[in-house]
């Protein structure tokens, strides 16, 4: 049976360890910091056999060099970004086969947060770094709103039961923003209550399911009338395309984040 372990790093990052019952081998996704990962593996008898990187930001790739001092393992990551220690550059349509874990992952190149970040999908799981967040999406640091909207639209088309493993614990903050956009969405209120219960127990709210995201994440709902209406009201103009709605909703959140 596959098992995904969350390792918390920095303030709110997750390093995901993908393992399988009966073997100590794990794939480490986005080890931004080697220390918590080394500690977790020692405590749980796990051993990384591969490193998977979604994008070049330090909080995702910054621990690779130090990990390679302990484990001589391949490092997979985006071909169009600079990743320290990268051994297997990957682009759109690539496939990662991990025989030690019995898992094959499909690679999607999804520009928006950075220039060419990767998401890895397989066995009903999605590792999407800072592209899709639970309840939100990443900042547009290197890509355009149209690119990010297209990237999120691709992710939204994955099966509804897909488990969404993103790179940060941002759910409650994101859903707080979502409430500005869709104050009358009953699924959103239910999700906030459930996420609060988890956080009160110190538990991760990640993973979510893609179905939950499609019902409550405003950035996946730019074709829904209530989201269009809210974005048009905020922008004070008509928005004729979903990517224009996305751009306004992203800007709206940026402005609130800047004030926080």
User: If binding is defined by CB under 5 A, does position 130 make contact with Fe ion?
Assistant: yes
Residues 3-42 that bind Fe ion (CB under 5 A): none
φ, ψ at 99 (rounded to 5°) = -60, -30
Q: Is 57 a catalytic residue?
A: yes
Residues 181-240 that bind Fe ion (CB under 5 A): none
Nearer to Fe ion, 58 or 95 (CB): 58
The candidate with the shortest Cα–Cα distance to 120, out of 164, 68, 174, is: 164
Quote the DSSP letter at residue 71. Answer: -
Spatial neighbors of 98 by CB under 8 A, at least 6 apart, are: 18, 27, 49, 50, 104, 105
With b for 16 or more beta-carbon neighbours within 10 A and e for fewer, the 85-121 pattern comes to bbeeebeeebebebeebebebebbbbbbbbbbbbbbb
How many C-beta atoms lie closer than 10 Å to residue 8's C-beta? 14
Least distance (Å) between residue 226 CB and Fe ion: 29
Give the separation between CA 76 and CA 87, rounded to whole angstroms.
6
Nearer to Fe ion, 167 or 242 (CB): 167
User: If binding is defined by CB under 5 A, does position 59 make contact with Fe ion?
Assistant: yes
Nearer to Fe ion, 59 or 182 (CB): 59
Kindly name the residue from 12, 57, 72, 80 that is annotated as catalytic. Answer: 57
User: If binding is defined by CB under 5 A, does position 191 make contact with Zn ion?
Assistant: no
User: If binding is defined by CB under 5 A, does position 130 make contact with Zn ion?
Assistant: yes
Residue 136 touches which member of Zn ion, Fe ion, none, C-beta under 5-8 Å by kind:
none
Widest pairwise Cα distance in the chain: 58
Binding residue count for Zn ion, defined by CB under 5 A: 2
Least distance (Å) between residue 124 CB and Zn ion: 24
Residues within the interface to Zn ion (CB under 5 A):
57, 130
Residues within the interface to Fe ion (CB under 5 A):
59, 130, 167
């Amino acid at each position: 049976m596959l098992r995904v372990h969350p390792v918390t790093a920095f303030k709110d990052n997750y390093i995901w360890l993908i393992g399988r019952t009966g073997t100590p081998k794990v794939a480490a996704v986005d080890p931004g910091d080697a220390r918590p990962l080394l500690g977790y593996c020692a405590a749980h008898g796990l051993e990384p056999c591969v490193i998977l990187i979604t994008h070049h930001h330090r909080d995702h790739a910054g621990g690779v060099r130090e990990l390679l001092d302990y484990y001589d393992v391949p490092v997979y990551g985006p071909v169009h970004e600079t990743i320290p220690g990268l051994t297997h550059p990957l682009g759109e349509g690539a496939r990662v086969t991990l025989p030690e874990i019995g898992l094959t992952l499909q690679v999607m190149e999804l520009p928006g947060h950075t220039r060419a970040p990767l998401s890895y999908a397989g066995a009903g799981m999605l590792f999407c770094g800072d592209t899709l967040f639970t309840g939100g999406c990443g900042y547009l640091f290197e890509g355009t709103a149209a690119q990010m909207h297209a990237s999120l639209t691709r992710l939204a088309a994955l099966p509804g039961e897909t488990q969404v493993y993103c790179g940060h614990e941002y759910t409650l903050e994101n859903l707080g923003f979502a409430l500005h956009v869709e104050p009358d969405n009953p699924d959103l209120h239910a999700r906030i209550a459930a996420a609060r219960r988890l956080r009160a127990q110190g538990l991760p709210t990640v993973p979510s399911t893609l179905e939950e995201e499609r019902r409550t994440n405003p950035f996946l709902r730019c074709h829904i009338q209530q989201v269009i209406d809210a974005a048009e009201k905020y922008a004070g103009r008509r928005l004729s395309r979903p990517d224009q709605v996305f751009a306004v909703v992203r800007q709206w959140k940026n402005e609130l984040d800047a004030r926080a």
